[in-house]
A and B are shown apart, each in its own frame.
Chain A
Amino acid sequence: MDLGTFSPVLLIASLMVAATPILLASIGELVAERAGVLNLGVEGMMITGAVCGFILAVEIGNPWVGFLGAALGGALLSLLFALLTQILLSNQVATGLALTLFGLGLSALLGQGYIGVRAPSLPRVDLGPLSDLPYVGRIVFGQDLMVYISLALVAAVWAVLKYTRAGLILRAVGENHAAAHALGYNVVAVRTAAIAFGGACAGLGGGYLSLVRVPQWTEGMTAGAGWIALAIVVFASWRPWRLLLGAYLFGGITGLQLNIQAGGLSLLNILPAILISVGIVTLLVQLFRHLRGGPVARRTMITGQLLVAAGIVLAGLNRLFPDMRIDQAFWLSASPYLVTILVLVVMSAGRAPGSLGKTFHAST
């Protein structure tokens, strides 16, 4: 297979950058959902974060102030969601949609004067000789600080949920809010905090998009990233480490398709590789599960094998009919969304938190 002038190292490094906004948004949503709140407004909070962060960074000239503003913007918007769903007891699905519509309008309005402006750039971490190591250096030690922060955040969320009392309370509220209430925990307060954390993370993810990934402000620039983040939480069965895997997989696909489009590579040359690698990852996840004594989902195994087989068949066809033509731009641009759907189908989701999406009203 011809990779042209691609450097795999740069590619992997750029994939990590592509995955970071989704990773940030989805880790926040994971916390909210573990607390039993389904916030479909991730897209709206993300884009509000993107615009708030961008404006502040441009006005003050410091990207870190921008990130702070992005997190604050996302959190403020999420508090609106908290007010409606926790105090005024509105339907979470409808309110989440409203938050997204509202956020899209708000961000477009705020960002009017900032189209085409360049944001101050975020320097990459330079660890001297470590960053200069061949291959590994650029990928492991040469990212910008936000990438490390996002990874640390995943680790922190995992540790807090698993080992701390606060995490236990949060999970209790998410599993059974009536029982948690009976034990004396303040369900509304815990959930409000979780929602605000989710909003701040989504805002950060949006900020990363407008300040590092693109780095510019354009209307509707999240282009569904918030929804993909929601899908990843389902994919991850509400577990932080699987979430990391999912986000990097999706970031990989998004980044890869952009690279292919920009590099003018033929999709047909690269599609078999994508299919085979997705298939192998699927099989590995199953294997991993099996090794830990979990049940193996037959359907997932079969799909993984089918993906690998399809990749091999396609590679063969490629050899035989080099002139086969398809509308490449469409398939490439649509691939992140199509893969999201595919993954939602293939991955039999684990058990959702028991009280997810349900309204809590203490009658006494």
Chain B
Amino acid sequence: MLKLEKRQRPSEVWSYATPVIAVLLTMVFGGLLFMALGKDPFVAIRTIFWDPLFSEFAFFYRPQLLVKGAPLVLIAIGLSYGFRAGIWNIGAEGQYIVGAIFAAAAGLALYPMEARWLIFPLMVLAGAFGGFLWAMIPGILKVRFGTNEILVSLMLVYVAEQLLASMALGALKNPEGFGFPGSRNLAQWSSSQNLEIVAGSGMHWGVVVAFLAVIGTYVTMSRHVLGFQIRLTGQSPRAAAFSGVNPARLVLVSLGVSGALAGLAGMFEVTGPAGQISIDFNAGYGFTAIIVAFLGRLHPIGIMLAGGLMALTYIGGEIAQSQLQMPAAAIQLFQGMLLFFLLAVDVVTHYRVRWRRPASARVAAE
């Protein structure tokens, strides 16, 4: 009989190996799924994972990797602060939306002024502030009233979606838009646009900030006392409390950081790739980022790699949609599968699998 034995400490080798195994398993089962949909599994997997990087038209897709990866990495990096300490902010999607709304509103208030030096930084600040504010709601409620942050942050996603619709149809609607819903195009206004820094590279300001966030988080987690406190709280809340960690402060800090980063991601998205506040502005990055955070093992470098991989499935998924008529939902399912396999395989990181004969057989042998 197979038995699980708890390891003294998580296995380091397996903690690196399991994400890779999970990706491979997802490919196998994803292939089976695509086969069930009547597609050639090998072609499908190649289209998703290989073509965006190495095919004939890869020069077109490669920059997209940064464009799609940046918001995922930014949000997931923020989530990793809380997740490590056992504080579950799963409403990043809402913070992302509110960040975008705040940024757009701050910028559009000054329209059509031509002052990029003022407006763009102002929008960045407003975006971060918006996300921060939205994340502070579950934070303060948790600290003050002991309310469950999972449920509150998630409820606020739906509120943010309603707010987005209300903004796109009302307060932020383009007055010159012939009555169509949606704000002015922020990517076409020179004061607010978030374009590529190097043409054709996909490198916009959001990518730069994402890299900075990765470095900053790496330093914080490994060198700063805050990182120590977060890791300690995650491993043993009681030990953390005895060592003088203030749990309320930790809740607010980790939610605040993740909210601000999600808000920034929203800001860079609305001024660049998306271009405007519209009803369907949000594309689920806030939820996919949860998968990215886990796949990256809540480690900044890991999250960066995982963000790249997830961006790849987005781009590859779009190619598969147009070339193989693969339904969009299949890609969504594929991404969900990845998290499942990761959590399933992860058992070997914390437990040793042992073969043990059933007790009755052992007695008989003796």
A101 contacts B347, CB within 8 Å?
A: no
B155 contacts A363, CB within 8 Å?
A: no
A223 contacts B158, CB within 8 Å?
A: yes
Task: Given the known inter-chain contacts A105-B329, A105-B335, please indicate yes or no for A337 contacting B346, CB distance below 8 A.
Answer: no
Asked whether B156 is an interface residue with its Cβ less than 8 Å from the other chain, the reply is: yes
Nearest-neighbor residue (CB-CB) of B137 within chain A: A341
Q: Which residues does chain A contribute within 8 Å of B158, judged by CB atoms?
A: 223-224, 334, 337
Question: In the complex, A88 Cα to B25 Cα: how many Å?
Answer: 16
- What's the interface size class on A, roughly? 35 or more
B147 contacts A361, CB within 8 Å?
A: no
- What's the interface size class on B, roughly? 35 or more
B332 to chain A, nearest CB (A): 4
Task: Given the known inter-chain contacts A105-B333, A227-B151, A344-B152, please indicate yes or no for A334 contacting B294, CB distance below 8 A.
Answer: no
Question: In the complex, A99 Cα to B287 Cα: how many Å?
Answer: 12
B163 contacts A109, CB within 8 Å?
A: no
Q: Which residues does chain B contribute within 8 Å of A83, judged by CB atoms?
A: 344
Q: Interface 1/0s, chain B 320-348, versus A by CB < 8 A? A: 00000001111111111101100110110
Q: Which residues does chain A contribute within 8 Å of B62, judged by CB atoms?
A: none
Asked whether B73 is an interface residue with its Cβ less than 8 Å from the other chain, the reply is: no
Task: Given the known inter-chain contacts A91-B343, A230-B151, A337-B155, please indicate yes or no for A361 contacting B333, CB distance below 8 A.
Answer: no
Q: Which residues does chain A contribute within 8 Å of B329, judged by CB atoms?
A: 105-106, 108-109, 112, 219
A97 contacts B90, CB within 8 Å?
A: yes
Q: Which residues does chain A contribute within 8 Å of B6, judged by CB atoms?
A: 361, 363
Q: Which residues does chain A contribute within 8 Å of B334, judged by CB atoms?
A: 105
Question: In the complex, A104 Cα to B284 Cα: how many Å?
Answer: 12
Asked whether A98 is an interface residue with its Cβ less than 8 Å from the other chain, the reply is: yes
A231's contact among B88, B155, B328, B343, by CB below 8 Å, is which?
A: B155
Give A106-126 interface residues, CB cut-off 8 Å to B: 106, 108-109, 112
B11 to chain A, nearest CB (A): 14
Asked whether A164 is an interface residue with its Cβ less than 8 Å from the other chain, the reply is: no
Q: Interface 1/0s, chain A 221-242, versus B by CB < 8 A? A: 0011001101100100000000
Question: In the complex, A327 Cα to B287 Cα: how many Å?
Answer: 28
A340 to chain B, nearest CB (A): 5
A88 contacts B347, CB within 8 Å?
A: yes
Asked whether A3 is an interface residue with its Cβ less than 8 Å from the other chain, the reply is: no
Task: Given the known inter-chain contacts A102-B337, A330-B163, please indicate yes or no for A93 contacting B147, CB distance below 8 A.
Answer: no
B336's contact among A101, A227, A230, A329, by CB below 8 Å, is which?
A: A101
Task: Given the known inter-chain contacts A234-B148, A234-B151, A327-B166, please indicate yes or no for A90 contacting B346, CB distance below 8 A.
Answer: yes
A334 contacts B340, CB within 8 Å?
A: no
B151 contacts A340, CB within 8 Å?
A: yes
A338's contact among B159, B337, B350, by CB below 8 Å, is which?
A: B159
Asked whether A40 is an interface residue with its Cβ less than 8 Å from the other chain, the reply is: yes
A101's contact among B145, B147, B151, B287, by CB below 8 Å, is which?
A: B287
State the main secondary structure of chain B at its contact with A.
Answer: helix
Q: Which residues does chain A contribute within 8 Å of B5, judged by CB atoms?
A: 363
A188 to chain B, nearest CB (A): 12
Please count the residue pairs between chain A and chain B whose beta carbons lie under 8 angstroms apart in the complex: 137
Asked whether A94 is an interface residue with its Cβ less than 8 Å from the other chain, the reply is: yes
Task: Given the known inter-chain contacts A108-B329, A109-B333, A330-B165, please indicate yes or no for A88 contacting B344, CB distance below 8 A.
Answer: yes
Q: Interface 1/0s, chain B 14-33, versus A by CB < 8 A? A: 00000000000000000000
B4 to chain A, nearest CB (A): 7
Question: In the complex, A104 Cα to B156 Cα: how many Å?
Answer: 19
Nearest-neighbor residue (CB-CB) of B338 within chain A: A98
Q: Interface 1/0s, chain A 305-323, versus B by CB < 8 A? A: 0000000000000000000
B69 to chain A, nearest CB (A): 19
Q: Interface 1/0s, chain B 241-283, versus A by CB < 8 A? A: 0000000000000000000000000000000000000000000
Interface residues of A (CB under 8 A from B): 40, 80, 83-84, 88-91, 93-95, 97-99, 101-106, 108-109, 112, 219, 223-224, 227-228, 230-231, 234, 327, 329-330, 333-334, 337-338, 340-341, 344-345, 348-349, 361, 363
A-B contact pairs, 24 of them (CB 8 A): A88-B346, A93-B88, A93-B150, A94-B294, A94-B339, A97-B90, A98-B291, A98-B340, A101-B335, A102-B337, A102-B340, A105-B332, A109-B332, A330-B166, A333-B162, A334-B158, A340-B155, A341-B141, A341-B151, A341-B156, A344-B147, A344-B148, A348-B146, A363-B6
Apart from A103-B336, A341-B147, list 15 A-B contacts with CB within 8 A.
A90-B346, A94-B343, A95-B343, A101-B290, A105-B332, A105-B335, A108-B332, A231-B151, A327-B170, A337-B158, A341-B152, A341-B155, A341-B156, A345-B145, A361-B4
Interface residues of B (CB under 8 A from A): 4-6, 88, 90, 137, 141, 145-148, 150-152, 154-159, 162-163, 165-166, 170-171, 287, 290-291, 294, 327-337, 339-340, 343-344, 346-347, 350-351
